[in-house]
Amino acid sequence: MLRGKVVCLALLALAAAGTSQAQQQNQQSNQAALDAQVQQQAQAYSQSEAVRNAWDRSYDQRSIKAMADLPKVRAHLTQVWQHFGMSAKDAEMVASAYRVNAINLNRGSLLTGKNDQEAASMLQSALKDKNYALADELMIDYERTRIGPLAGR
């Protein structure tokens, strides 16, 4: 019987040693997976940083171009306001309020989902409140919306 107990203890010791080796291999495998995940995250961060830098450069270029074209935009706005019945003097005053900024370059249209009557009401309200910068933005959005389908032809 003593011999059976010794054999049983020896088998238990071998099983424990085998389990210990399996656990050690499992820990090494987990550490390798964790290292790979950390490396992937570092690469993803590096790529996202490159994307951010490219966007910043593109934004700066758009801003510079928009500022260079500011006199052209204002001249066009003056003509558009006159087309809608504003006097030359008033049209020039309203158009001169136009400013290029990040909101102008990176937002969607203020008139999305609005019909012509709603757009006209918004324009009239902005003019009545002497919020000429908003009126200019609304007019530009209106023109973009109106011309948009034709530009694709």
DSSP state letters, 90-129: HHHHHHTT----HHHHHS--TTTT--HHHHHHHHHHHHHT
Neighbours of 105 (CB within 10 A): 12
* Within-domain flag for 4: no
Quick one: 75 and 142 in the same domain? Answer: yes
pLDDT in tens, 84-123: 899 999 999 999 998 876 555 556 678 888 888 998 999 9
**pTM exceeds 0.75, yes or no:** no
Quick one: 144 and 75 in the same domain? Answer: yes
Per-residue pLDDT for 66 more than 80? no
Quick one: 114 and 134 in the same domain? Answer: yes
Quick one: 54 and 79 in the same domain? Answer: no
Rounded CA-CA distance 11/81 in Å is 95
Band (pLDDT 50/70/90 cuts) for residue 152 is very low
pLDDT value, residue 103:
54
Give the residue from 37, 60, 83 where a domain finishes: 60
Quick one: 113 and 43 in the same domain? Answer: no
CB-neighbour burial class of residue 95 (10 A; exposed 0-12, middle 13-18, buried 19+) = buried
Quick one: 76 and 137 in the same domain? Answer: yes
Count of the separate structural domains present in the chain = 2
Band (pLDDT 50/70/90 cuts) for residue 153 is very low
* Within-domain flag for 75: yes
Quick one: 49 and 96 in the same domain? Answer: no
Quick one: 84 and 111 in the same domain? Answer: yes
- Closest to 59 (Cα-Cα) out of 120, 129, 106, 113: 106
Per-residue pLDDT for 39 more than 70? yes
Across the range 73-83, mean pLDDT stands at 89
* Within-domain flag for 31: yes
Quick one: 56 and 73 in the same domain? Answer: no
pLDDT in tens, 5-21: 555 555 555 556 555 56
Quick one: 141 and 75 in the same domain? Answer: yes
Range of 97's domain?
69-148
- Find how far residue 137's CA is from the centre of its chain: 20
The residue assigned the tokens 């009126």 is: 135
Quick one: 51 and 108 in the same domain? Answer: no
Rounded CA-CA distance 153/115 in Å is 23
Quick one: 41 and 23 in the same domain? Answer: yes
